[in-house]
Amino acid sequence: MVDADDSPDTDALPAYVRALLAPAAYPHHPASVVLKQTHLSYAFLADDLVYKTKKPVDFGFVAQLDAETRERFCHAEVQLNRRLAPDVYLDVAPVLRLADGGFAVEQPPAGRAVAAVEEWAVKMRRLPDDRTLAALLAARRDPPDLAERLVAKLAAFHAAAERVANDPSFAGAEAVTAWWRREYSEAAGFVGDTWEARDAARLNTFVDRQLTTHASLFDARLAAGRVVEGHGDLHAQHVYVLGPAPEQLVIVDCIEFSDWFQFRYLDVGYDIAFLAMDLEARGYPELGDELAGRYLTATSDETLGVLQPLHRAFRAFVRGKVESIGAHAPEVPAEERQRLADSAAAYFTLAAQYADRREAPLLIVITGLSGTGKSTVGAALATRIGAAFVSSDPIRRELAGPSKMFQRFEEGVYTPEMSDRIYAEMRRRATDHLAAGRAVVLDATHSRRTSRDAARDVARAARVPSLLVELRMSDDAALARLINRERAAADTDVDPGAYRRHIAGYDAVSATEGNCLALDASQTVGALVAEIAEALPRRA
């Protein structure tokens, strides 16, 4: 069986590609060979193995016209992808041109001489198509703990990744601006084709405004070690959920062809934004926000949310550009070219829609008893609207070191004096963020009305609107959540008595406190984020 992208016309393909459609070209003699291709590569699906060769192309952002470069990129692909898929990337194998004019992979058939190495291929273990995140979502079979598992994988990956040196000309505001100017110029030819002129103009205006407003933040995140050698192409088609074990979550196909900034070397927020954007494009915006929010809290990344709308717009733009290139590749069958053109247009439109996310500064104060999910909801909200996320938990750790929740609730890091220090520091940070033109989400119990009033005073001083959001849940349900969370972290069990005293010391939110929103915390994270976002003051 031979299948070349479901099209019998293979005349436009190179000779070696046509030859590798025959099972006899492989040493393991597969029962069938299926050809899939992108704008950069040919992939030969040969039963339980995949051999992927690289096309001799130059698109500006990737140049692999000469054979030596393609061989080097093959080796880089294997090495780099073993970081997240160690058992998938097996080796680099030669595609041999035989003396009699035929072709073979890895080794010549018995009795046939080799004339030269025609090409190089990445040899991979084939993964099941129905276990990609894209396929699972389409089939409504996504695991319920998917966001937590992805965050654990990606947070560990980024923590171990190489940090980019603090060189703003390579990876700061100057570099981001230069990257965007180059990318926009390279994609300009698609305006009026796969890219509507109105969407292109909206996106360019939004990006210019964001680059100006947040210039100092790009440099600050670089200096803080938030720019790493990451993945660079993290979307749902590249994530495989093979089973429940940690090692069965596999991520493939990172960027190997460029050492430029914004490709594999990037702010960690880009990797997160790419997947969140792709989930939104597939109809799962709530899952994308939850993923980004859980990553934010897991890494205590206070400013990750500020740049998420921009990061997601960039990633949607990149997908639109890449699929536009595929839509104009003559060797790709006509039906596939049309599919790519439609997909490119959708991604370009999504990129422009991020311009509608709220940009003006405001203050959102999250309050509620411990166990109601304030941090998860608040962080997901911050990534959706582009806000700094100032949370009491990491500040408590900074001021007093690690602690166990409610182990000694009335002592140590949970005394009123320590809480006053933490709230004061939160307000100081909120003041700085608002002055820099950023929205802010404050995440803490805010059990006393005096602490909530003090937080809203920060907004009044900055002359920005504020919203108080209280998450409500029955006492028993919140306590059960806390107990399960502490046990899952192998921590000391929560003292129910201490928690009851915590409840007794909580001042319920009153309508006299101004612009307030009370929500049932038993809803999904996505539903809560949507309700809060809808209640935010509109832009002038």
Tell me phi and psi for residue 341, to 5 degrees. -65, -45
Q: What is the pLDDT of residue 492?
A: 47
pLDDT for residue 280: 96
In terms of domains, do 317 and 174 share one? yes
Q: Return the structure tokens found at 527.
A: 């539903």
Cα-based distances in Å from 373 to 85, 297, 325, 432, 478: 32, 12, 43, 26, 9
Indicate if 114 and 144 belong to the same structural domain: no
Which CATH number does the domain housing residue 305 bear? 3.90.1200
pTM of the model: 0.90
Q: Is the pLDDT of residue 406 over 80?
A: no
| pLDDT at residue 117 tops 60 | yes
188's tokens: 């300009």
How many separate domains does the chain show?
Answer: 3
Same structural domain, 78 and 143: no
Least confident of 94-103, 167-176, 439-448, 487-496: 487-496
CA 309 to chain centre: 12
**Is residue 465, in this structure, part of any structural domain at all?**
yes
424 shares a domain with 304: no
Question: Which of residues 262 and 486 earns the better pLDDT score?
Answer: 262
Q: How many CA atoms lie within 13 A of 365 on its CB side?
A: 29
Structural domain range at position 120: 2-126
Task: Quick: pLDDT tens for 487-538.
Answer: 555 544 455 656 656 665 677 888 888 889 999 989 999 999 999 999 998 6
- Are 6 and 52 found together in one domain? yes
540 within domain boundaries:
no
Does 240 or 60 have the greater pLDDT score?
A: 240
| pLDDT for the residue 10 | 73
328 and 209 in a common domain = yes
Q: Which residues of 457-482 are buried (b: 16+ CB within 10 A; e: fewer)?
A: ebbeebebbbbbbbbbbeeeebbebb
> Which of 317, 341, 356 is the endpoint of a domain?
356
Residue ending a domain, choose from 356, 390, 419: 356
Encode 151-182: b = buried (16+ Cβ within 10 Å), e = exposed: bbbbbebbeebeebeeeeebbbbebbbebbee
Question: 386: exposed, middle or buried (C-beta count within 10 Å: 0-12, 13-18, 19+)?
Answer: buried
